Amino acid sequence: MHIETDFWNFFFGITVFLLFVYQLIDIARAYLIPYLLECLQRKDHEQTEFFEREELLFSARKKIEKKIEDQNKMFAQLENNMLSVCQYQAKKLEQAAADKELFKQKAHLRLTQQMVYREQRQALRKVLPDVFLQAEDKLRAILQKNDSAHFLHALKNNKMYK
């Protein structure tokens, strides 16, 4: 009987042990496994958010790099346009200065010519009466030799001559 009691004690101990293990497994199924699944889902969700953020940052970085590249191209074009405009304005100013200088030279030449013509007219006005008197004297001398003084007198008194 002593062996039998040990058997039932042993059987009872194993049964209690198996029930204890079963309860642990049941508790694990009921609480631990859902908790671990929740932790896994949270980590998965965090990782998904991280990948989405990383993808968003990567796309934003690409957009920014593209904008910077476009702006650099635009600034290069703007710089080229500004250089072209500056060169055009410089050529325009040079041409205007050359035109102004040419105008000044032409105006100076005209003024000089006008002054020469004025001096010539003044000299001619001063000399012309003397020339006419000399010509009249020469003509009178020629006509006196030919006894044609009355022709000169008639010519002088002619109304068309006056």
For tokens 């006005």, the residue is 125
Q: How far apart are CA 40 and CA 48, in angstroms?
A: 12
Domain ranges of the chain: 2-157
Query: Residue 130: pLDDT band by 50, 70, 90 thresholds?
Result: confident
pLDDT of residue 103: 93
Compute the chain's Rg from CA coordinates: 64
The mean pLDDT value for 92-110 works out to 93
Q: What is the DSSP letter of 159?
A: T
Contacts of 149 (CB under 8 A, 6+ apart): 140, 143
What's the pLDDT tens digit per position in 9-68? 888 889 999 999 999 999 888 888 889 899 999 999 999 999 999 999 999 999 999 999
